[in-house]
Amino acid sequence: MKPEDIESFLNSVLHPEEFDDYCFNGIQIEGSKEINKVVTGVSFSDALVEKAVTAGADAILVHHGIFGKEFFRLSGYLKKRVERVLSLGITLFGYHLPLDANEPYGNNYSIAEEIGLVNLERYDVGFIGTHPENILVSELRNSLCRIFPRQEVGLFKNSDFAGRVCIISGGSSSNLRELEGTADTFISGEVGEPTREIARETGINFFWVGHYASERFGVINLGELLRERFSLEVEFVEIYNEV
């Protein structure tokens, strides 16, 4: 397939034009090859490029690609990454906020489904929903430990039950400030230093499950979608990051 045909399809699914993002969503580096195999991964890195080359990939699809919408200077590690991808003729696709927010393929919708939330409503690039049963916070933590087996699931507990649960993957702990009176439980990727006291003062149960771990779902789902729709060979490459 041609890179622009894949981009057009992914754009029709993710609607990047609806987001004011920190990066360009779509083709970030245009390659010179017809695409038969795609490697997916969470973050663009030299290690991922190396795995893609070994796998014989013609394209790389990531959630964390190249940030910044305009480039006036490429230097250091980023220059080396880009230089290598260009020399190999590989196409780099990156989708950031659209892949957090998407229903049904995105990171946050996937987590909500995994823990059994219903009555989902979009909130920022995440979702708020309720559990069909009056779930204990300890039971919710057990579910998160099952979904994120390689992570130490963190919790600032302020009540016994989780009623309205908000999920925003990645580095979203600062969103906690806005959730008072809107949700009683918040699941984030990362935790910030002020989070503990804000959680205590607002009475919100706060979970953190890892930035990387919370953002694996979207690229895996898109890879499966490309395989099913276009019979492309797709391989998810795990460059695990405990943060």
pLDDT for residue 133 = 84
pLDDT for residue 206 = 98
Q: Residue 74: is its pLDDT beyond 90?
A: no
215 annotated as ligand-binding: yes
Q: What is the pTM of this model?
A: 0.95
The position carrying tokens 């399809």 is: 9
- Eight-class DSSP state of 64: E
94-106 per-position pLDDT tens digit: 999 999 999 999 9
List of E strands, 46-178: 59-64, 91-94, 118-123, 126-136, 154-156, 161-168
Burial 139-152 (b: 16+ CB within 10 A, else e): ebbebbeebbeebe
Q: What is the C-alpha separation between 25 and 11, in angstroms, rounded?
A: 8
Confidence of residue 16 (pLDDT cuts 50, 70, 90): very high
176-193 per-position pLDDT tens digit: 999 999 999 999 999 999
Q: Peptide bond preceding 104: is omega within 30 degrees of 0, i.e. cis?
A: yes
* Domains observed in the chain: 3-96 (3.40.1390.30), 102-211 (3.40.1390.30)
64 annotated as ligand-binding: yes
211 annotated as ligand-binding: yes
pLDDT for residue 176 = 97
Phi, psi of 11 (to 5 degrees): -65, -35
The candidate with the shortest Cα–Cα distance to 6, out of 90, 67, 108, is 90
110-139 per-position pLDDT tens digit: 999 999 999 999 999 999 999 988 899 999
pLDDT for residue 83 = 95
Q: What is the C-alpha separation between 174 and 110, in angstroms, rounded?
A: 22
